[in-house]
Structure 1
Amino acid sequence: MTHHTDRIALVTGASRGIGQAIATRLAALETTVIVHFGTDRAGAAATVEGIERGGGAAFAVRAELGVEGDVEALFEGVEAVLAGRPLDILVNNAAAAPAGPLGVTTQADFDRLFAVNVRAPYFITERALPLLRDGGRIISISSAATRMANASQTSFAMTKAAVETMTKTLANQLGPRGITVNAVSPGATRTPTNGAVFEVPGLAEQIIGMTALDRLGEPDDVADVVAFLASDSARWITGQTLDASGGLFLGPRV
């Protein structure tokens, strides 16, 4: 088994879905991956196992995000893996799911969304900066929900808009260190976790009907864009949000 140690990446929320795909894709590019998970220990173990089976190197680190002491808990594990080596790539992927429309979302739901989707990536990034090498990469997962009006996702879309603003301002701040900061916005992406959502009669067809490329997204569609932004090929791209939604809701399709 070959252990790749050329680069080290931290991917939050990498036990399943898009995060798992990102971790797996980066590992295939000679990157040691720190697989963060909150509750799904089995999923994180499966991510690590899959990476090792492919000849890569990965380590699982647990920390529940959105609670007191979350960043400290995460970086205790991260620094143990780094063992003094620098971090090359930070992927802020972990997120709480949409909580519902105005009038349904409770204050507790709202606070949890912002704690996991905004506060956590903000302070994780702050904590990662001294460990991140000059020329490193910060990539956050946003959502196509920020560019369209969807009443059922108001609070969720607000959190992702905050992430996009953070991306732009951090890119400007960290440019002198050669660190690029970008975001990726998936659209409707079918994962093992949310698969049941798309079983609602007619929903998948409705979304596909609004998508230029005429299908639902897969985790690998997003992971490939993240891998590009993490590569040297994207060295001149910073402060951007790349839409990786297959052209969801671009306008009328006639």
Structure 2
Amino acid sequence: MRFKGKDVLVTGGNSGIGRGIVQYLLKEGARIAFAGRDQEKGRAVEVEAKALEGDARFFPCDLSEERQVEDLIGLIGQWGRLSVVINNAGAGSRRSGIKLGDRPGARWDKMRGANLDSTYFVSSFALPLLRDSGGGAIVNISSTATLHGNWGLYCVAKAAVEALTRSLAIEGAPHGIRANCVSPGWIATETDLTTPASGSAGDWTVPPSVLGRMGTPAEIAAAVAFLASDEASFVTGQTLIADGGLSILDFTSLSLLDQRGSVLFSGMVGDTP
């Protein structure tokens, strides 16, 4: 139980990857505060936590609004002694609120607010709490969209989250605060949170990873837990890519996934030509 006796804040913990992180860290003994906008989903996760015999409390908050985040962190300071912050909250193009007729500035405001501003505001207000607790860890959630221009402003905002992570690592170091980032690939967030089979490739034209499936929230939570734990005490300012190896494969080599026995360089496994 790596987080027994530790108080943890998870933003966006009421759904998807964030929900998976909450469940994973509860099993590791953490006491969790989690924040988000959807109160119905938040209360549902509280019920799940009780079923796991865990302690998790939902705090409603629009994390893109600085004043609301300041109030949230004030409440967290009264709630417990914060040791870990997981900045998971964010929104892709479909959930960012961007409309077809929005001007460039409005598009950027919405995408930046959901992804970058929320991470910046929470980290800024939480740093004094982490310092006062004797140090701790920040883990931000980015995306492998940072590697692909086809994701537009989303990839720009997430790239900024990775840059912010490095800045937080420098700022936090004198106070015993580490900051790292996890960059997920395609994750099956609307199915089972723990079983790799639930991340099946399904009807994808090409596989969503070189492992032939999507990842699960629990697999991302495991990476987050490592970076937040004392096991990663000498790791800071880094981004860990958890995408089933998809980002190492170039588009023109996708056909290799269908020929993996006979064409791989080592010749030591699989069928021989």
- Taking structure 2 as the reference length, the TM-score comes to 0.79
In 2, Cα distance between equivalents of 1:49 and 1:18: 17
CA contact (8 A) 2:66 2:121 kept: no
CA contact (8 A) 1:35 1:48 kept: no
Comparing 43-52 with 20-29, greater Cα deviation is found at 43-52
Q: Which residue of 1 aligns with 2:136?
A: 136
Q: Given residue 140 of structure 1, which amino acid in structure 2 is its aligned partner?
A: N
Structure 1 residue aligned with 2:153, among 143, 151, 155? 155
CA contact (8 A) 2:8 2:32 kept: yes
Q: What's the C-alpha RMSD, in Å, of the aligned pairs?
A: 2.3
In 1, Cα distance between equivalents of 2:222 and 2:101: 35
In 2, Cα distance between equivalents of 1:207 and 1:110: 30
In 2, Cα distance between equivalents of 1:125 and 1:169: 11
Q: Which residue of 2 aligns with 1:91?
A: 86
Structure 2 residue aligned with 1:124, among 100, 119, 122? 122
Q: Which runs of 5+ in 2 are unaligned?
A: 192-200, 257-273
Q: Given residue 98 of structure 1, which amino acid in structure 2 is its aligned partner?
A: S
State yes or no: 1:241 paired with 2:236: no
Q: Which residue of 2 aligns with 1:51?
A: 49
CA contact (8 A) 2:127 2:172 kept: no
Q: Given residue 23 of structure 2, which amino acid in structure 1 is its aligned partner?
A: T
In 1, Cα distance between equivalents of 2:78 and 2:188: 34
Aligned-pair CA distance for 1:23: 1.0
Aligned-pair CA distance for 1:204: 4.6
Q: Which residue of 1 aligns with 2:11?
A: 12
Q: Which residue of 2 aligns with 1:65?
A: 63
Specify which structure has the bigger relative contact order, considering alpha-carbon pairs within 8 angstroms and separated by 6 or more residues. 1
Q: Given residue 186 of structure 2, which amino acid in structure 1 is its aligned partner?
A: A
Deviation string, structure 1 residues 32-64 (Cα, Å, up to 9, x no partner): 0001121x2121112122122112111110111
In 1, Cα distance between equivalents of 2:5 and 2:227: 17
Deviation string, structure 1 residues 62-109 (Cα, Å, up to 9, x no partner): 111223522123224323322xxx2000000101222599x9764323
Aligned-pair CA distance for 1:207: 4.6
CA contact (8 A) 1:90 1:138 kept: yes
| Compared CA separation, residues 154 and 105, structure 1 to 2 (3 A) | farther
Structure 2 residue aligned with 1:183, among 152, 177, 181? 181
In 1, Cα distance between equivalents of 2:70 and 2:219: 32
In 2, Cα distance between equivalents of 1:117 and 1:192: 20
In 2, Cα distance between equivalents of 1:65 and 1:123: 8
In 2, Cα distance between equivalents of 1:105 and 1:191: 28
Larger radius of gyration: 2
- Taking structure 1 as the reference length, the TM-score comes to 0.85
Q: Which runs of 5+ in 1 are unaligned?
A: 194-201
Q: Which residue of 2 aligns with 1:196?
A: none
CA contact (8 A) 1:48 1:60 kept: yes
In 1, Cα distance between equivalents of 2:204 and 2:101: 26
Percent of paired sites with the same residue: 35
Partner SS state of residue 134, structure 1: coil
CA contact (8 A) 1:66 1:115 kept: yes
CA contact (8 A) 1:62 1:77 kept: no
CA contact (8 A) 2:36 2:59 kept: yes
Partner SS state of residue 77, structure 2: helix
CA contact (8 A) 1:13 1:94 kept: yes
Q: Which residue of 2 aligns with 1:198?
A: none
| Compared CA separation, residues 189 and 207, structure 1 to 2 (3 A) | farther
Q: Which residue of 2 aligns with 1:199?
A: none
